[in-house]
Amino acid sequence: MSLVTQLRSERAKLNEQIQALARIEADGGVLDAEQLTSFDSLNSAFNTLTDKLSRAEAAERTALASAVPLSEGAQGITSPPAGGISGPFTAKPIPGANMAQMVRLLAATRGDQQAAAKMASDGGMNPEIAMALSTVTPGAGGVLVPHSFSSEVIELLRPKSVVRKLGAVSLPLNSGNLTIPRIKGGAIVGYIGSEEDVPVTDLNFDDLKLSAKKLAGLVPISNDLLSYSGTNPNVDRLVVNDLTAAVGLAEDLGFIRGAGTGNLPKGLRFWAPAFNIITCPPDKELHIVEMALSALILRLEQADANMLMPGFIMAPRSKRWLAALRDGNGNKAYPELDQNLLKGFPVATTTQVPINLGENGDASEIYFADFADCFIGEDDDMVIDFSKEATYKDNAGNIVSAFQRDQTLVRVIAKHDFGPRHIESVAMLTDVVWGAGL
């Protein structure tokens, strides 16, 4: 209780006693000598408390007027906080860590789910991992990853896959299939005069049909990482990065240049209609380059594409050459490429766009599409399997033994498909030799 409040309370009590004596005379009574002495004493004490209260209130007003924020106190802005730090606090989990830990546990136990569940429990991992390992039924093709874990990994593919990064829309497959209707054409709208017939509208519909295509990726992981039984965010991050990088590259290859035959998804290369495929002139003058890029954009604009999330996909070679291109004054022709923009639209590069095409083996391709009109049909089921004895081919085509390298080969199987709702939303530039020889 503050001094001001205390003094006010004491003064109020004195006032009650004074008023009680005053009421005796008000009712016609007479105060005796003792009561008169008490009245004088109470009145004197009341005046004394009033003086004290005035001084206390003045001191309180002065303290309020001179108060400063805590961060600007006498100890300085950089002074440590007066209070202690409570805790402990749980660190923010690594996205996809559940999947990574599940992979490590299953690889360490060679697919024995019960042993992996016990290791998860003993190692202090997320209880969901032990629960998932105890309840998921193993199959002949591997272990089915729970949807809650696989959905984390699918979301992590967005920065690894250029098609996803540029805005392709992910939709769930229903029993492995998805049909997205679209209006192909035929709507007739026009002004009419008096006593004229309204034009007959005969809409033509078409469907984008997606069906699950199996993607299998092989990811070699060092046994030193897999043997770590505890929880370490760096280990989990490394395993997740290896898994998502391998799947992301494989997705881009299918979504960009997949032929659509057999078990392959149909990529942008084969979705692009013939009237949206432009042959790039061999000349490399700036005005020729400008016309080629403008023609690519114009194909979508002339088709009335929504242009909600348009963007370029090209090989790193093409982007580096465009970034180095100079105008007649020596200035960069496309300085916005430093911000990953070209003519105002986002640019993404991937080595899955080849640079060895054409008659001379030095040509590449550039794609321009409205990725808000491109859809990825996604099956949430993801299956993983392991082998310590299998062999695989590296990027150079050499046969590598996982056993000899002290590695465990993780096979990831996912199912999806890709396609644009309107094929007019995809255009491409072929025979691009910009940067050949760099």
User: What pLDDT band is residue 334 in, cutting at 50, 70 and 90?
Assistant: very high
Show the tokens assigned to 172.
Answer: 């769930």
Question: Is the distance from CB of 324 to CB of 330 less than 8 angstroms?
Answer: no
Can you give the pLDDT at residue 355? Answer: 94
Q: What's the whole-number average pLDDT of the chain?
A: 82
User: What pLDDT band is residue 228 in, cutting at 50, 70 and 90?
Assistant: low
The alpha carbon of residue 296 and the mean position of all alpha carbons in its chain are separated, in whole angstroms, by 30
In the 8-state DSSP scheme, what is residue 260?
A: -
Closest listed residue to residue 399, CA positions, set 218, 129, 157: 218
194, exposed or middle or buried, with CB in 10 Å at 0-12, 13-18, 19+?
A: exposed
In the 8-state DSSP scheme, what is residue 266?
A: B
**Rounded to whole angstroms, how far apart are CA atoms 241 and 329?**
44
**Rounded to whole angstroms, how far apart are CA atoms 117 and 131?**
7
Question: Is the distance from CB of 168 to CB of 371 less than 8 angstroms?
Answer: yes
**Rounded to whole angstroms, how far apart are CA atoms 97 and 125?**
10
Can you give the pLDDT at residue 276? Answer: 96
Question: Is the distance from CB of 168 to CB of 381 less than 8 angstroms?
Answer: no
User: For residue 124, is it left (φ>0), alpha (ψ between -120 and 50) or beta?
Assistant: left
**Rounded to whole angstroms, how far apart are CA atoms 416 and 266?**
11
pLDDT tens per residue, range 1-24? 567 778 888 888 888 888 888 888
Q: Residue 157 carries which side chain, given as an amino acid letter?
A: L
In the 8-state DSSP scheme, what is residue 343?
A: T
Question: Is the distance from CB of 180 to CB of 376 less than 8 angstroms?
Answer: no
What average pLDDT does the segment 252-275 reach? Answer: 92
Quick check: 419 pLDDT over 90?
yes
Q: Mean pLDDT lowest for which of 26-30, 84-88, 275-279, 420-424?
A: 84-88
Q: Determine the 3-state secondary structure of 432 from DSSP.
A: strand
Quick check: 142 pLDDT over 70?
no
Quick check: 164 pLDDT over 50?
yes
Quick check: 231 pLDDT over 70?
no
Between residues 438 and 147, which one has the greater pLDDT?
438
Quick check: 74 pLDDT over 80?
no
User: What pLDDT band is residue 190 in, cutting at 50, 70 and 90?
Assistant: low
What average pLDDT does the segment 126-146 reach? Answer: 69
User: What pLDDT band is residue 258 in, cutting at 50, 70 and 90?
Assistant: very high
User: What pLDDT band is residue 70 in, cutting at 50, 70 and 90?
Assistant: very low
User: In sequence order, which ranges of 258-285 are alpha helices (DSSP H)?
Assistant: 268-271
Instruction: Select the highest-mean-pLDDT range: 37-46, 74-83, 104-113, 147-156.
Output: 37-46
**pTM score over 0.85:** no
336, exposed or middle or buried, with CB in 10 Å at 0-12, 13-18, 19+?
A: middle
